[in-house]
Every structure is written in structure tokens, then in C-alpha cells.
Amino acid sequence: MSSYPEDAQASHQLLVAGFIGGFGLAALVLILQNAKPFEKQEWFISAHDYFVLLVVILAVMIAASVFSSTVEIDIAGGVHHWSSAYGEMGQNLLILAFICVCVSMPLLILPFTRVGAGVVAVAEVLMLVAVALADRSAKQ
């Protein structure tokens, strides 16, 4: 549990959820306006399936960040607490939105450069491992 008061923690997470939602919405609008670069055959999936997968991931990211924001507004307002099932759902939705960001970044870059997408994917994995190790050592 954080040392922040619940309303401050909710305010910080609300900011993060807003950023993730804004990123997802901007990316979704851009790829829907110009779908041509994303309609390429990549690996073992067809061009259409690749495009649909990318759109679905971005849509889930937007929805998860919006619903997480509504939970965080209630927590910041004192209606609910982080320890309630409602608060935990909000945190889980924010984690889902973050996972969607991590998955969508290499997929957004892939049609333009495979090497760049690979570098981003490897960098994300390394950063996640570093954060997990730092969190583990902080708890000990």
C-alpha cells in the first residue's frame, strides 16, 4: 500500500489513465484515417486480421482507461476506497490499459520498421523486468 493519502493516489492514477486514454484515442483516430500502412501481411496473420487486432487492442486500452478513470474519480471523492472490490477493479483496469500500451507500441511501429518494433519490444521487456526487480527489492 502506498504512503499517499487515497485522494492523492487517485489523482495521480487519474492523470495516468487520462494520458493512456488520450494516447489510445489519438492512435486509433490516426490509424482509422490512414489504414494503408497497417494493411500489410505481417508474420502469420493476414493484413486484415493485423489491422483488426490493432484496432481492438487500442479500443480496449481506451475503454479500460475510461472505466478506470471513473473509479478513480469516485475514490478521490471519498465515495469508495482502494481496498474495496470497486477500487481493486479500477486498479486492474489501469493495469490492463498499461498492458495494451505495451502491446500496441511495437504493433504500431511494425509496418514501418521491423527492427524498430523489435527494439521497442525488447526495451519494454527489459524495463518491466527492471521495475519488477526494483519493486521486489523495495519490499524486502
Per-residue pLDDT of 44-87, as tens digits, reads 788 888 888 899 999 999 999 999 888 888 887 777 777 788 88
With beta carbons less than 8 A apart as the criterion, state whether 21 and 69 touch: yes
Which parts of 19-117 are beta strand (E)?
A: none
Q: Which residues are bridge partners to 42 per DSSP?
A: 45
What CA–CA distance (Å, rounded) separates 41 from 104?
17
Cell of residue 124, nine digits: 519494454
Quickly state the pLDDT bin for 1 (edges 50, 70, 90): very low
Selection from 84, 61, 65, 94 nearest residue 6 by Cα:
84
Higher pLDDT, 79 or 96: 96
What residues have CB less than 8 Å from 87, skipping those under 6 apart?
A: 71, 75, 80, 81
* Percent of the chain residues topping a pLDDT of 90: 27
What CA–CA distance (Å, rounded) separates 95 from 51?
23
Query: What per-residue confidence (pLDDT) applies to 17?
Result: 84
Burial (CB count <10 Å: 0-12, 13-18, 19+), residue 58:
buried
